[in-house]
Amino acid sequence: MIQLVGGLKPDLVMPQKGDRLTREQIGVLRAWIDQGANWPDGVDPKVRGQRDHWPSKRLFDPPNRK
């Protein structure tokens, strides 16, 4: 993931469209991974039915976006 968001592989970049993550954002992501990438208490991303946590929700444009 860090290789993709960091642009270490030019032909595989994340996100493919839109603004790239800043160095600060990549640093936060890297630190989270280095610390074990722990999910909040009570959330197991591998368990179906626990899809209410924000990373599992579908993205949408807010209604008041200009």
Question: Domain locations in the chain?
Answer: 1-55
| 16-25 residue pLDDT tens | 888 888 999 9
pTM, whole model, 2 decimals? Answer: 0.54
C-alpha neighbours within 13 Å on the C-beta side of residue 16: 2
| 4-50 residue pLDDT tens | 888 888 788 888 888 888 999 989 999 988 998 887 777 776 766 55
Q: How far is CA 61 from CA 41, 64, 65, 66, in A?
A: 29, 8, 7, 10
